[in-house]
A = this chain, B = another copy of it.
Amino acid sequence: MNSIKLYNPGPINVSDDTYQAMSNAMIGHRGSDFVNLYSDIHPKLQKLFGTTSPVYLSTSSAWGVMEASVRNLSSKKVLNCCNGAFSDKWLDVSKRCGLEAESLSSEWGSPIDPNELDEKLSTGHFDLVTLVHNETSTGVMNPLKEISQVVAKYDDISLVVDTVSSFSVVPINTDELGIDVVLTGSQKALALPPGLALFTVSEKALKKAESTPNRGYYFDFLEFHKNWEKMMTPSTPCISLIYGLQHQLNKIFDEGLDARFQRHEELNKMVHDWVSKNGFNHFAPEGYRSKSLTCVANNREIDVAAWIKRMRDKHSLIINGGYGKIKGTTFRISNMGDESVDSINQMLEAITDTLS
């Protein structure tokens, strides 16, 4: 049995108590057992999403809902904010759905500029903006509030935000910011195995979906809503993951949201301190750095792959050696999920020990 602790930014470590919860006896998905389960977790999910709108459960990875968002909400042109591997790919996915799509790009490592966004939107060409809040590939956290305020100026333009690696690490105030769709996945800070995506859709966006043709079935927002009204899902859901989610939500609210955000901030700072102390630079600029993971510039030009092999062999843990075109020139360390001061300390000691 494999037992390497994961400090790459997702999938992350899953605790034994979570696996235990996932092993609850199977239930049917069209009866009261499932309705009770969904009803129990729904108010907690609304709090985490900062919304009074429905929160839907999609049996897919987050990419499914990212694709769904463009399929459900654009019949004119999508503007994909691109500044990393995942946001760049969203542009490609939009085009593969047969949609008109264009990018608003910043360099990898730089945030999206709200003023440039405003300029683009003022052309009147677009009906949808996609944003990756926390670019897991670069460690950049985009300025969500400023970006939301820009999009809010345009009544006919919807905003979809991927919070895959920021959800439950920093507050996401969906309603306050007027975001139309917020989506996330199970395998990041929620510390569940992959296979479940969560999302919320504003009433306005649901209305818009009604007039969007060819939404299909599996990812049709209206189908999710119709089933949500009965506290069910359109297709057979990943029930064991939802049991796990119930357990993790209980842990999150037992800890308290503020304490949880504070803990992630503190653990993140420990990693940041390690970066300075060891003579590395950050890949993301000050003020735009993720609280869930740290993307480190490999200015010391170490052999990252060999280093990761050493920490794996000697300490049974790994960090990540960089993603896509910045593989090797960066590396990434996650502080998401159920981690503590102790576990992050142990990890930092292990990676220091094997650094040279």
Contacts and interface: CB of A to CB of B under 8 A. Distances in A.
A187 interface: yes
A6 B22 contact: no
Interface in A1-28: 1-4, 6, 8, 10-14, 16, 19-20, 22-28
Contact of A240 (B22, B33, B59, B63): B22
Task: Decide if the interface of chain A is mainly helix, strand, loop or mixed.
Answer: loop
Interface stretch (A198-206, A216-224, A272-280): A216-224
Interface stretch (A39-47, A90-98, A260-268, A344-352): A90-98
Interface residues of A, number: 60
Contacts of A238: 193-195, 238, 241
Given A59-B195, A93-B216, A214-B97, A235 B64 contact: yes
A218 B2 contact: no
A220 B28 contact: no
A13 B237 CA distance: 15
A213 interface: yes
A282 interface: no
Interface of A: 1-4, 6, 8, 10-14, 16, 19-20, 22-29, 33, 59-64, 67, 71, 92-93, 96-98, 185, 187, 193-196, 213-220, 234-241, 318, 320
